[in-house]
Amino acid sequence: MNSGDKLGGLKSNFYQTKSGHILLSDEEIKHVMFALCDPDRRKQGRQHTPVVNPGNSTEKLIGKVFESCVFKTATSAVLGYGLGGAMGLFFASIGPSNVVATDGKSLGVRQVFREMKASTLNSAKNFALVGSLFTSVECTIESYRAKTDWKNGTFAGGITGGLIGIRAGAKAGLYGAIGFATFSAFIEYYLLNRLH
């Protein structure tokens, strides 16, 4: 008996007053509460998969473009560039800067802004590189495995961290791979288990 049947069976037992209020006994309230708070019903609600209309050919094409690795990588690069630029500008504005030039004179406003611009652009490029590299590797792994789970992000984090760290040597590449993979696994775990 599902919760709709349980509520339907109670409708005949309701006593409605002239003002429109419904009077229920304690037993009837328990039945209503159980029908509304049925744990099986809550599980079904979480596991319900909506039926998606496949749509016309234009919608399918747009869906394929949005799901492509090239689009995801480009989007990640643009968003990483914006976020990195904002963070670079913030840190350049509060960080200790070289206010004294090499010849002993203080820097002018133009030179300070030039340093802030260089710092901002450097941070933006780094974020764009890391974001696009991680996204392209993750999308490639996801396409190859044909699964969407925590392993994709963890493997992509390991590969990305290794590629970034290998420029400083094999040991730095190994530490970068382990660190980035651990961070990615933690984020994937949090996003999959905490937010769902």
Per-residue pLDDT, 100? 57
Per-residue pLDDT, 20? 61
What is the full DSSP assignment across 117-181? Answer: HHHHHHHHHHHHHHHHHHHHHHHHHHHHHT--SHHHHHHHHHHHHHHHHGGG-HHHHHHHHHHHH
List the chain domain ranges: 3-47, 57-127, 147-196
Q: Residue 54: is its pLDDT beyond 70?
A: no
What is the bridge-based pairing of β-strands 22-23 and 15-16?
antiparallel
Per-residue pLDDT, 137? 95
Per-residue pLDDT, 182? 95
Q: Residue 107: is its pLDDT beyond 90?
A: no
50 or 95, higher pLDDT: 95
| Residue among 116, 72, 76 at smallest CA distance from 98 | 116
14 or 182, higher pLDDT: 182
Per-residue pLDDT, 157? 94
Q: Residue 47: is its pLDDT beyond 90?
A: no
Confidence of residue 27 (pLDDT cuts 50, 70, 90): confident
